[in-house]
């Protein structure tokens, strides 16, 4: 039985006071939740503030990226032990913005993922095709390449969350139809079964991301292979994110 995971990626938004207010709204929205999990990933500067705000609540803390080494001369990076020390349980890796804007390769993303696993963080591996790739009929080939490369060196015992985020739907207001999303999720799950066995595939959560909002979350979450959502813009509004958390 896969427990749904609703994750909010705040990206480069919120100073500490704003982060505390938003985190309090998330805590309130999660009161009494029993059948789903919620994670929020504030910017690094707000992690300590948010960690204190969600302490004791049913809200997990995540990071928006993670380095692969425990320490060293890596200016601008954040080591896994630093994230664990501040209370993080999850770390997002391979987000399309890291791939598209900052040029992160599949090999680098794999180093981040395996580094997170080595220190006890659960990575959320983001995969997804661009609009050009979808229109060229390359969606499944892109997903296969990114999943295989991202999970290289891992085993069935490694806890990983996958997030399918079609690049053309991130921050654009466009959303994959529930059928398009389900097709991609089912493909990823079948690929996981090939890589790590059916039991591992059956327990791995695959999230959908890409303009998830209150008006479409119910239909998306009704699909058999969609186990949650990685939410961007709507996660910055307490009321909208609360509605997504309480999907029907």
3-state secondary structure the chain: CCCCEEEEECCCCCCHHHHHHHHHHHHHHCCCCCCCEEEEECCHHHHHHHHHHHCCCCCEEEECCCCCCCCCCCCCCCCHHHHHHHCCCEEEECCHHHHHCCCCCHHHHHHHHHHHHHCCCEEEEEECCCHHHHHCCCHHHHHHHHHHHHCCCCCCCCCCEEEECCHHHCCCCCCCCHHHHHHHHHHHHHHHHHHHCHHHHHHCCEEEECCCCCCCHHHHHCCCCCCEEEECHHHHCHHHHHHHHCCC
Q: Answer yes or no: 165 catalytic.
A: yes
Catalytic, out of 37, 97, 129, 165: 165
Find, among 170, 147, 157, the residue nearest to 122 by Cα: 157
Q: Answer yes or no: 31 catalytic.
A: no
Please give the structure tokens belonging to residue 213.
Answer: 């909002």
Find, among 137, 72, 143, the residue nearest to 106 by Cα: 143
Measured N-to-C along each axis, helices 16-29 and 47-54 cross at an angle, to the nearest 10 degrees, of: 30
Spatial CB neighbours of 21, under 8 Å, sequence gap ≥ 6 = 238
Active-site annotation, residues: 95, 165
């Amino acid at each position: 039985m896969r427990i749904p995971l609703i994750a909010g990626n705040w990206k480069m938004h919120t100073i500490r006071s704003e982060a505390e207010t938003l985190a309090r709204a998330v805590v309130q929205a999660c009161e009494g939740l029993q059948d789903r999990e919620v994670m929020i990933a504030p910017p690094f500067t707000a992690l300590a503030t948010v960690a204190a705000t969600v302490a004791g609540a049913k809200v997990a803390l995540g990071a928006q990226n993670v380095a692969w080494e425990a320490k060293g001369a890596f200016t601008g990076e954040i080591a896994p032990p630093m994230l664990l020390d501040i209370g993080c349980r999850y770390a997002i890796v391979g987000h399309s913005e890291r791939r598209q804007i900052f040029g992160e390769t599949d090999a680098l993303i794999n180093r981040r993922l395996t580094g997170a696993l080595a220190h006890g963080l659960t990575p959320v591996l983001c995969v997804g095709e661009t609009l050009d790739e979808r229109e060229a009929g390359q969606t499944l080939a892109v997903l296969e390449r990114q999943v295989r490369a991202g999970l290289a060196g891992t085993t069935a015992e490694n806890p990983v969350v996958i997030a399918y985020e079609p690049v053309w739907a991130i921050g654009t207001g466009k959303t994959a139809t529930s059928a398009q999303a389900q097709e991609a999720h089912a493909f990823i799950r079948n690929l996981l079964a090939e890589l790590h066995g059916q039991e591992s595939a059956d327990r791995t959560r695959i999230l959908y991301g890409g303009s998830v909002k209150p008006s479409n979350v119910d239909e998306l979450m009704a699909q058999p292979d969609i186990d949650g959502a990685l939410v961007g813009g709507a996660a910055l509004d307490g009321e909208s994110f609360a509605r997504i958390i309480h999907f029907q």
